[in-house]
Amino acid sequence: MKKTEKFAQADNDFLVKMAMDSFRRIVAHHGQWFAEVEHQLGVQEALAVEQDVWHVSLKNQLKRLGEFLDIEMEGCNPVALKSLPRETLSGLIEKLAINWLANDGIWFQAVEKKFGMFDAKRCNDTCWTRFSPFEATRIKELLELPDNGGIPALKQALGCRLYAVINEQSIEDVNEQSIIFRMNNCRVQAARKRRGLPDYPCKSAGMVEYPYFARTIDRRITTECIGCPPDNHPDDWFCAWKFTLEE
């Protein structure tokens, strides 16, 4: 059956489902390409290739969709999005950050349900070896940070993570070469606390997440865990990390 014949027989409900599933396939395929390039060639190479691919692919896709749906574009940005009030854009970013975190939790719970906590944590921790440097790379481009920006660059980058949008965090300057970062209120841990549950033991993930992020911002930065669940911690933070620039 030809494509035109197949879709000529479909009702609108099916076509809407097909359209949404097409977005899903594009996103999944993009991630699968990244994962395989990282596996075959290394994470830094995958990050560099993804950056080239994203700019070309996004412009290509949005141009095609914009022309078809009569959406005015300015480069890679819909004009309608750029014209939104600052408060609306800030709210949109917050909702996107919550969606990211919720999606992460849904993945974790799905793996835990089928295979148990050990495998869920193993998958989660490995995922951070890819996402943490990816997010750091995206922030470096967004803020136009130099490769060797040191502690000042790291402080800026920590403030632009998706976590920074939905959690409460603080930074203490130890000296010019070192800072202490504290997650004062974690959305995940706070939700568990409200339900009377113990802290989620996230230290194994943090030992991947934070060093990978810091090294991507500046490879000279080392990371030390001050405390992270299941470690005991005071009431005013859930986890704390010390970052030091090693000359």
pLDDT tens per residue across span 39-74: 999 999 999 999 999 989 998 999 899 999 998 988
163, 114: one domain: yes
HSE-up (13 A, CA, CB side) for residue 144 = 0
72, 165: one domain: no
Pick from 202, 206, 217: which is nearest to 241 by CA?
206
Pick from 90, 61, 94, 93: which is nearest to 78 by CA?
61
235, 222: one domain: yes
Residues 16-29 pLDDT 10s = 888 899 999 999 99
pTM, 2 dp: 0.90
Q: Is residue 8 part of a domain?
A: no
pLDDT value, residue 10: 83
Domain that holds residue 108: 85-247
100, 115: one domain: yes
The helix or strand, by DSSP H or E, that contains position 139, with its residue range, turns out to be: helix 117-143
Domain boundary among 33, 53, 83: 83
pLDDT value, residue 18: 86
> Residues with Cβ < 8 Å from 134, sequence gap 6 or more?
34, 47, 50
181, 192: one domain: yes
pLDDT band for position 1 (cuts 50, 70, 90): very low
Residue 236 and residue 184 in contact, taking contact as beta carbons nearer than 8 Å: yes
What average pLDDT score do residues 169-176 get?
96
Q: Is residue 206 part of a domain?
A: yes
Domain boundary among 64, 83, 102: 83
For the CA atoms of 52, 57, 58, 61, the dihedral, rounded to the nearest 10 degrees, stands at 170
